[in-house]
Amino acid sequence: LKNSLKQVLDEQGFATVDLGPETADPVDYPDMAGRLAAAIKDGRAQFGVMACGSGIGIAMAANRYPWIRAAMCYDVTTARLAREHNDANVLALGARLIGLEVARDCLLTFLNTSFAGGRHARRVAKMSEPVAQP
């Protein structure tokens, strides 16, 4: 999935930074999420796309970082709303759950949708505030 989506990005003229994995061997998704979080924090990337089997684990791992808003998407509607309403900067996909065409459509929708701002900006700002301990 990674290589197919990278090809789509190249064809569309997007600059890419491949953060791995480099082989088909299993990797730990928290490590991959850390690589992406570092790339966004230091400005090497503005957006990210990540995948694991379901998309759930990689989204949870990425969302540990306060500057990341990762959204697990499974169709173009969730990809559009993740950007439009939640200003998501990381797209998480479930490689075992969606086909290549759906993943491609999600990716292009995600990257070509702008944050709507307005009433959504207040909510996104709240997600960046420290959470009070119970």
Q: Which residues are catalytic?
A: 52, 85
Are the C-beta atoms of 76 and 106 separated by less than 8 Å?
yes
Which among 111, 97, 95, 99 has a CA at the least distance from the CA of 50? 95
Helix (H), strand (E) at residue 71? strand 70-72
Are the C-beta atoms of 109 and 65 separated by less than 8 Å?
no
Length of the chain: 134
